[in-house]
Structure 1
Amino acid sequence: MTIESSASPLIFGGAQSPRAALPVLPPLALYIHIPWCVRKCPYCDFNSHTASPVLPEEEYVDALLADLDQDLHAVYGRELSSIFFGGGTPSLFSAEALGRLLKGVEQRIPFASDIEITLEANPGTFEQEKFRAYRALGINRLSIGIQSFQEEKLKALGRIHNGDEAVRAAGMARQAGFDNFNLDLMHGLPDQSLDDALNDLRQAIALKPTHLSWYQLTLEPNTVFWNQPPTLPEDDALWDIQEAGQALLAEHGYAQYEVSAYARPGRPARHNLNYWSFGDFIGIGAGAHGKLSHPDGRIVRTWKTRLPKDYLNPAKSFKAGEKALTNEELPFEFLMNALRLTEGVEARLYTERTGLPLESLAEGRREAEQSGLLQVEPSRLAATLRGQLFLNDLLQNFLT
């Protein structure tokens, strides 16, 4: 593919401004995709596949490390600030397999002394000894896929656990030594009332997680729910749930720092903060995506082969494609992430992470401020409360 030169011009009001080289590269993270699940949920559009009775752990770990080897050229001496095991259900893999993988990663890229290593897990796959072993490996954060505590809602979502197992999972996480864990919870579920949604939140809060991901169920293409849509709450009911839920979370000390992320003080997800602030991440595993900056100013998005059988096939390439972001695409790409943060980001970060002058946003900023979607604050890029609610409308100001 043709990669645009870092010196290609960008036109601002008739003048040409080249994209600058990046004097300081962004922090570096690693995303590792484990694509297997016990069962595919009807709402899920992630790259996940029903697991066979015996998973190819050894072969997949070998492939992940070989995949990582091909991206090492973009490390440029940086250390890893965070690692995130996503899926699928990464907790289907044994501690032995994940231990060999983590050791192989650290041999290739040094770990920061305070590295955050998160593992996604589902309550139906919790085993106390297994999670003690995960903690002993250095995995220090869990993200537990609860979605709901109510039996009828869990059945509608196709989940393999029940409410009691969800509660026990949080207790088992603490007993295994995890003092930092997230609970994933959905709202706007089929036939869900305001009381249903708030009861789920109250139960989650009672388990004292350090972080809550609370987001609305949406119907995505290529899912069972897209083709056979369930009856979801009306817009007015969804708005009532959102307002009441946010108030409840704030009352219990969970500050909203992103569209659907709430955390105790000092406990936001470091991996996701890096993503939203346009940091770099290597993506390895079937269907994984990455974003890598180069000192010459190039910023390249990558994506890997989706099907596990193809990813494990030595005759096929791990990388399915890559794209260098153009000067015209970068403003939208940066802001699509940064404006999800409720506090936004310092304006200077735009130039640091893209190599483009802040003036390249001038026209879009002016229009967004005049429409009440962007805060009038020269030193920050942050959406107003209205802008957070209408983020797509806000971002339209920065499309070219």
Structure 2
Amino acid sequence: MHNSKAVLNTLKPILATQSKLTALPPLSLYIHFPWCEKKCPYCDFNSHQIKEGKQGFDEARYIQALIADLETELPRVWGRQVHSIFIGGGTPSLLSANGMNELLSAIRARVNLEPDCEITMEVNPGSVEAEKLAGFARAGINRVSLGIQSFQDEQLKALGRIHNGEEAKRAIAIALQHFKSVNLDLMFGLPNQTLEAAKADIETALSFKTPHLSFYNLTLEPNTYFASFPPKLPSEDEIDAIFEQNLALLEAAGYRRYEVSAYAKKDQECKHNLNYWRFGDYIGIGAGAHGKISFPDKITRQVRERHPETYMQAMETKGNALIEARDISAKDLPFEFMLNVLRLTDGVDTVTFGERTGLPLNVVSKGLDEASKKGLLDLNPNKLKATEQGLRYLNNLQEMFL
């Protein structure tokens, strides 16, 4: 597996050919909802603040655009079953329960969903109403992801969140009444965060016994308010201490780290995100949505118009809102594959590389050799799996496959 000599002789002819897939990977559906009540200073997602005092978006019009967008994709995925749906944003919980029911009903009429299809929506704790969540559950949502970030009012204020700590707890309690599967998003390395405050956040989250937790390090992303006006963040050593402390707390409570930022109780991993990280396929509809669809002889990517108004106009006037549609070159496929699968703590079997890219494993021999020698990649020849050191320095590991 880790012999790189063959690469020198085989790389050019291999990369000159198209990939050939013997089977298509699982298929998911991603739906982007682009509006939020307030743009957070750290957020680099495609989200647009609604006008104060107004609904700020035309729900019926946007849902019709989404349905039309899905219909443009049907010929590309005909006959394939969808095994998960994820509605992200923005703040999808700004949709009405009736609107969600209309959208999911339209999807069921057009695509073949697996009987136990996981259907997740992101929910802002500041927009949680008990009756509305009950309506989302009746519409078919069976998993929610709550953007908690912290339970400390001071931290939430620094992060520009619209909820406080008590509202976060209330939102979790309501969600657990209506959904079997609830994820809590938490952040660490927050402005002026102490080890004790970070521990309190995790302990509060653990008290709710949700089946899944996401635990992210706050990063200053380009083109955000925080990038222009950076807050005072803990030092690298302090952030490492917070991570190690909270990792131990999570593991002691029965949560297994299965991806860089994701922790789950047994058999409660997020099916949708696992499909991304295993280089599966996904239809992406909505403003700014990305999609990846495989065919026997090629793998394609698409990007939609980012601005909601431009997106809806494009769907209404042209019948599609694509701003990019391209085949992934054989040269880029290995990096795109490794970029995803190396996030998984269990990695994937080496045979998955050929199954998902259509390329022989020896095209990445050089990177595998280098990563193994540096202790970033597991030495098991049947696995593509980062070591603990590899997960810690994931960017460096991924770059070896550029």
Q: Shorter-chain TM-score: what band?
A: over 0.9
Secondary structure of 2:75's counterpart equals helix
The answer to whether the 8 A contact 2:287-2:311 is kept is: yes
Question: Partner of 1:74 in structure 2?
Answer: 76
Q: Which amino acid aligns with 1:56?
A: D
CA positional deviation for 1:328 = 1.0
Distance 1:108 1:363 in 2: 44
Selected match of 2:177 from 175, 189, 203: 175
Matched, 1:29 2:28: yes
Distance 1:331 1:122 in 2: 36
CA positional deviation for 1:19 = 4.1
Task: State how 1:264-343 maps to structure 2 within 5 Å.
Answer: 264-296=265-297, 298-313=298-313, 314-315=316-317, 317-343=320-346
The answer to whether the 8 A contact 2:7-2:366 is kept is: no
Question: Partner of 2:49 in structure 1?
Answer: 50
Which deviates further from its counterpart, 49-58 or 94-103? 49-58
Question: Partner of 1:62 in structure 2?
Answer: 64
The answer to whether the 8 A contact 1:40-1:50 is kept is: yes
Selected match of 1:362 from 339, 355, 365: 365
Question: Partner of 1:395 in structure 2?
Answer: 398
Cα offsets for 1:197-241 (capped at 9, x unmatched): 110000001011110000110011111111111000011100100
Secondary structure of 2:87's counterpart equals strand
Question: Partner of 2:3 in structure 1?
Answer: none
Cα offsets for 1:19-59 (capped at 9, x unmatched): 44212101000000001111111111111011241331110
For structure 1, the 5+ residue unaligned runs are 1-10
Distance 2:237 2:7 in 1: 43
Question: Partner of 1:14 in structure 2?
Answer: 9
Matched, 1:204 2:199: no
Matched, 1:380 2:397: no
The answer to whether the 8 A contact 2:84-2:271 is kept is: yes
Distance 1:388 1:125 in 2: 35
Distance 1:105 1:75 in 2: 14
Secondary structure of 1:398's counterpart equals coil
Distance 2:218 2:400 in 1: 27
Question: Partner of 1:7 in structure 2?
Answer: none
Distance 1:174 1:13 in 2: 55
CA positional deviation for 1:282 = 0.5
Task: State how 1:104-143 maps to structure 2 within 5 Å.
Answer: 104-143=106-145
Q: Which amino acid aligns with 1:362?
A: S
Distance 1:268 1:230 in 2: 33
Secondary structure of 1:299's counterpart equals strand
Cα offsets for 1:345-384 (capped at 9, x unmatched): 0111110000001121222111111111111111110011
Secondary structure of 1:24's counterpart equals coil
Output the aligned Cα RMSD: 1.2
Question: Partner of 1:40 in structure 2?
Answer: 39
CA positional deviation for 1:108 = 1.3
Distance 1:154 1:396 in 2: 34
TM (normalized to structure 2)? 0.94
Distance 2:177 2:9 in 1: 63
Return structure 1 stretches of 4+ with deviation > 2 angstroms: 11-21, 314-317
Secondary structure of 1:146's counterpart equals strand
| Higher-RCO chain (CA-CA 8 Å, sequence separation at least 6) | 2
CA positional deviation for 1:71 = 1.3
Secondary structure of 1:312's counterpart equals helix
Distance 2:329 2:75 in 1: 21
TM (normalized to structure 1)? 0.95
Secondary structure of 1:300's counterpart equals strand
Distance 1:193 1:69 in 2: 50
Cα offsets for 1:141-188 (capped at 9, x unmatched): 000000000010010011111101100111101222x11110000000
CA positional deviation for 1:268 = 0.6
CA positional deviation for 1:12 = 3.8
Question: Partner of 1:6 in structure 2?
Answer: none
Q: How many residue pairs end up in the alignment?
A: 387
The answer to whether the 8 A contact 2:212-2:265 is kept is: yes
The answer to whether the 8 A contact 1:61-1:101 is kept is: yes
Q: Which amino acid aligns with 2:307?
A: L
Which deviates further from its counterpart, 374-383 or 311-320? 311-320
The answer to whether the 8 A contact 1:74-1:293 is kept is: no
The answer to whether the 8 A contact 2:7-2:365 is kept is: no
Cα offsets for 1:237-279 (capped at 9, x unmatched): 0010011010010000010000000001100100000000000
CA positional deviation for 1:315 = 3.3
The answer to whether the 8 A contact 1:31-1:283 is kept is: yes
Q: Which amino acid aligns with 1:142?
A: V
Identity percentage of aligned residues: 51
Distance 1:269 1:346 in 2: 19
CA positional deviation for 1:14 = 2.3
Question: Partner of 1:8 in structure 2?
Answer: none
Q: Which amino acid aligns with 2:193?
A: Q
The answer to whether the 8 A contact 1:150-1:163 is kept is: yes
Distance 2:136 2:344 in 1: 30
Secondary structure of 1:373's counterpart equals coil
For structure 2, the 5+ residue unaligned runs are 1-5
The answer to whether the 8 A contact 1:185-1:215 is kept is: yes
Distance 2:63 2:399 in 1: 41
